[in-house]
Structure 1
Amino acid sequence: MPYNDLLTSISERYPCRDSQLSQLSALIGDETSPSPSSFVLYGLEATGKTLILRALLQESEVSFSWLPCDECITARHLTERIAATVEAALDLGEDLGLPRSQEVGALAVFLQAALARVREVKHFLVLDRIDQQRDPTPTLVPALRRMGEMIPNLTVIFVVSAPHSRFFSSAEIPHIHFPPYSREESIEILSTNPLPIKKTGEEQDPDDDETSDDEATKEELAKEELYVWQKFCATVWDSLAKGAARDIVRFRNAVEKNWSTFVQPIARGEYGTRNYSSLYLYHKDMFRQETSVLDTVIPPAVNERSTMVVKSHDLPYYSKFLLCAAYLASYNPPRSDALLFTKAGEGKKRKRGGGLNKQAGTRKIQRRLLGPQSFPIERLSAIFPTLTSHTVPPSVDVQAQIATLTSLRLLVKATSLDPLDGSAKWKVNVGWEYIRSIARSVKFDIEDYMIE
């Protein structure tokens, strides 16, 4: 196959890497053109480094040996594996009479003797994931880089995730960067192999000539499936994968995990392929749940039952108000207490939004997402009586209620001091959904007392 056709074929199978493929082809070349003594491929995981390099080396039919360095522990283990891999790739057929290399110097002698048998052929030694080698010595990688300079027909290729500036003890070695795939590139790559809408078990009747023999109908169906697939990939990227999937492998896993559930209404004939907006609204909860991207061994039904058990804590009446006060003390700044919890008429009128809405425009993250902050017990005792619509009777033992919440791990100590010490600090240990259900059970609108 001509070299240009070879590059075109690889580019069609692995899109969005034309620039890197062109640079690689220039460095590898053919049997007559020279190659550098060493060069580096670097980029984050799942960016196509190994895939593109292996495809080009195999289809160019050049002599190469491939070693995954993350499987090697010590430097001696690595050098011995390199010697064995090169000898197997060259297929010399007889022992060279040299001892197995125990250090880089002995390895260079071994490789020079081995490659002298095939003087006319260039050989590429690929050290994949060399930066993940378990126990390297400080001079191991620079010494491996120099071997290509000492052996004329040897080129050492390093494949790393993030090379250090002094990792190779030289700034002259050529580098090829594989950047992470963008949103458009990720969707394009996934669109080369879309999943069908119909379930795997659904097969068409072989006697149905109207559908099996109509190629135009098949092409139209494939086009419609590709349309839904691309729209769904874009939705998953914008709602889930952009923050939860750090590479294209996890992105595809998230798409494939939710695809069959998403297209079930289309397979049943309830929605058309062009009614994507309606289908998205039908499945909008799918793009809000963490289970859409996280795998779990617990069935969904068990998750729902366990959630109901947690939300059915039968706390005493005033303990619920005390827990709400602890939540407000953990998530509201202390400077807002005078405005929120003053029982004067002016304070009541300005409770919604806390009168501090001018900060909401500049705050980028909600307080509920920043985690609970610690507070002294005196602040909790001051907030608690202002939440009830009546006066708390003297018979209510606040300290006993705090002890009950602490034993249930709903309220935890934030310092190592004695709980009876006045300077000890606490923080709430429940989430927003839980505290909102607790507040509703006593008809308390906790939303009006939250500073957004």
Structure 2
Amino acid sequence: MTDEMLPTELLTTMNEQFPCRAPQIRRLAALVGTDETPSPPAIVLHGLEATGKTTILRTFMDSVNASYTAGVTENVGGGDAGRAGDVCALGVRLSGVLSGVERKHFLVLDRVDRTREGSSVLFAALGRLGEMIPILTVIFILSVPKPRLLSSAEPPHIHFAPYTKEESIKILSKYVRRIPFQDIEEYTQKDAKEELYVWQKFCGTVWDSLAKGTARGVVQFRAIVDEMWEPFVKPIAEGEYGTRNYSSLYLLHKDMFRRETNVIDVVVPVGAGEKAVTKIHDLPYYSKFLLCAAYLASYNPARQDAVFFMKNNDFGRKKRRGGTTGSTKRTAKNRKIHRRLLGPQAFPLERLQAIFAAILPHRMSSSADIQTQIATLTSLRLLTKASATDVLEAGAKWRVNAGWDYIRHVARSVKFDIEDFVAE
């Protein structure tokens, strides 16, 4: 359909309401036509989310006063004609409802590709409804069309491509947010032009830094811009910067465009008032040292216990100075994988108690019950049994069930430098 066949007022109104979608509107108008011109049995509108497929279709249908529906009896006339159990029954129902209608009718199936039981057979059957009923056209709205979707002659497609950076900024510039000036007396056309300048520059910066990789459409892009707008223009509103000093204003707020806090609500929706809670067990004093000892017993070789935990060896702290060239080469040749990557190793209970006594900075209180502390760690699944023997037997083996970050946090809470006792 040429522009002469489409009313000029309608084309202008649609283009103003939906910028950057003039080609899609013209193709839609050519396929829908008028009641005197034929339409294809099926039409496919496809594109990613927030590209205007459903909104533009509904607005256009209402503007040209076309007969369309998303249900069988809605806007067609007649009451409840009963339920259709399959596509064949649906075709019979539609034929009966549309038998006395002289106008063309359009059946809109939005997001039909997201149905649970959707298959190529179902889509093909729905597409042939337009061939069975001459005045009916089925319009499919899909995210991504599949090849040979309707298993028949390929229906006409209208692609709603994702908005580019320039198109997204143009759409957002239709509704520019005001700068809350504190000392402005009268809002003039010059103020509006200056706000538009800052708004477009700001939208471009947000797109390049955040929205291009996180926002999936114009709606999310707008949400990010609205979230960051007021903090960004606050120095302008207070008179500290001018509207043409955008580079200086960007340098002042450059950290704002590096953080992800402004897009978390868009990418990961969080309920109002919810706060992130880090779950750390509030362990007793001796249990923390026991857990550190269990980690050292699981990740340190038993043959190096004398090196790390001898009392007369300055607690066996690792030497910070470099060794000989031969020892360095020999270590690199014999050990290629870090022990922390090999997982925790099993250890007997006697070794755990010995390491615990070595790393404890003072004598243990007589009222402390080590067995109860071990039972507490076991109930919290921070210690797990690694052998099939009974817990009370001497040969029972255990292993730690906590990661390095958690253990380091526990060690720092009791001012224990566990890094000096971990074998490399």
TM-score, scaled to structure 2: 0.65
**Aligned 8 A contact 2:169 2:203 in 1:** no
Match of 2:40 in 1: 36
Match of 1:144 in 2: 126
**Aligned 8 A contact 1:40 1:159 in 2:** yes
1 or 2, which has the higher helix percentage? 1
Deviation at residue 112 of structure 1 after TM alignment: 3.8
Deviation at residue 347 of structure 1 after TM alignment: 7.2
Within 5 A, what are the aligned runs for 1:152-167? 152-163=134-145
Which whole-Å CA distance do the structure 2 matches of 1:133 and 1:223 have between them?
45
**Aligned 8 A contact 1:44 1:180 in 2:** yes
**Aligned 8 A contact 1:57 1:64 in 2:** yes
Match of 1:87 in 2: 76
**SS of the residue aligned with 1:85?**
coil
Which whole-Å CA distance do the structure 2 matches of 1:419 and 1:255 have between them?
62
Match of 2:67 in 1: 64
Deviation at residue 125 of structure 1 after TM alignment: 1.6
Which whole-Å CA distance do the structure 1 matches of 2:300 and 2:265 have between them?
39
RMSD of the alignment, in Å?
5.4
Match of 1:228 in 2: 202
Which whole-Å CA distance do the structure 2 matches of 1:109 and 1:26 have between them?
29
**Aligned 8 A contact 2:296 2:422 in 1:** no
Deviation at residue 157 of structure 1 after TM alignment: 0.4
**Aligned 8 A contact 2:294 2:352 in 1:** yes
Deviation at residue 37 of structure 1 after TM alignment: 0.6
**Aligned 8 A contact 1:385 1:392 in 2:** no
Match of 2:272 in 1: 297
**Aligned 8 A contact 1:377 1:422 in 2:** no
**SS of the residue aligned with 2:124?**
helix
Match of 2:59 in 1: 55
Among 117, 139, 157, the residue aligned to 1:175: 157
Which whole-Å CA distance do the structure 1 matches of 2:230 and 2:420 have between them?
38
Q: Deviations over 1:166-190 (max 9, x none)?
A: 7534462333344544555544433
Question: In structure 2, do the counterparts of structure 1 residues 158 and 284 end up closer, same or farther at CA, with 3 Å as the change threshold?
Answer: closer
Question: In structure 2, do the counterparts of structure 1 residues 255 and 445 end up closer, same or farther at CA, with 3 Å as the change threshold?
Answer: farther
Which whole-Å CA distance do the structure 2 matches of 1:289 and 1:430 have between them?
31
**Aligned 8 A contact 1:38 1:157 in 2:** yes
Deviation at residue 154 of structure 1 after TM alignment: 1.8
Between 1:416-425 and 1:312-321, the stretch displaced more is 416-425
Within 5 A, what are the aligned runs for 1:38-437? 38-59=42-63, 61-67=64-70, 81-82=71-72, 84-88=73-77, 100=82, 102-103=84-85, 104-112=87-95, 114-119=97-102, 121-133=103-115, 140-163=122-145, 168-170=150-152, 172-181=154-163, 185-198=167-180, 208=185, 211-212=186-187, 214-237=188-211, 242-243=213-214, 245-273=215-243, 274=246, 275-281=248-254, 283=256, 287-288=260-261, 293=266, 294-298=269-273, 313=282, 315-316=284-285, 319=288, 322-323=291-292, 326=295, 348=320, 375-378=344-347, 403-407=375-379, 411=382, 427-428=401-402, 435-436=408-409
Q: Deviations over 1:186-216 (max 9, x none)?
A: 4443343332232xxx8887xx4xx34x422
TM-score, scaled to structure 1: 0.62
Larger Cα Rg: Structure 1 or Structure 2? Answer: 2
What is the aligned-residue identity percentage? Answer: 31
Between 1:102-111 and 1:156-165, the stretch displaced more is 102-111
Q: Give the aligned length.
A: 386
Question: In structure 2, do the counterparts of structure 1 residues 312 and 128 end up closer, same or farther at CA, with 3 Å as the change threshold?
Answer: closer
Aligned AA (2:272) = V
Question: In structure 2, do the counterparts of structure 1 residues 318 and 423 end up closer, same or farther at CA, with 3 Å as the change threshold?
Answer: closer
Match of 1:364 in 2: none
**Aligned 8 A contact 2:107 2:137 in 1:** yes
Q: Which runs of 5+ in 1 are unaligned?
A: 68-80, 89-94, 356-367
**SS of the residue aligned with 1:222?**
helix
Question: In structure 2, do the counterparts of structure 1 residues 416 and 448 end up closer, same or farther at CA, with 3 Å as the change threshold?
Answer: closer
Question: In structure 2, do the counterparts of structure 1 residues 255 and 400 end up closer, same or farther at CA, with 3 Å as the change threshold?
Answer: farther
Question: In structure 2, do the counterparts of structure 1 residues 223 and 254 end up closer, same or farther at CA, with 3 Å as the change threshold?
Answer: closer
**SS of the residue aligned with 2:271?**
coil
Deviation at residue 15 of structure 1 after TM alignment: 3.5
Aligned AA (1:55) = T
Question: In structure 2, do the counterparts of structure 1 residues 196 and 350 end up closer, same or farther at CA, with 3 Å as the change threshold?
Answer: farther
Which whole-Å CA distance do the structure 2 matches of 1:380 and 1:262 have between them?
60
Q: Which runs of 5+ in 2 are unaligned?
A: 309-315, 329-339
**SS of the residue aligned with 1:159?**
strand
Which whole-Å CA distance do the structure 1 matches of 2:302 and 2:56 have between them?
60
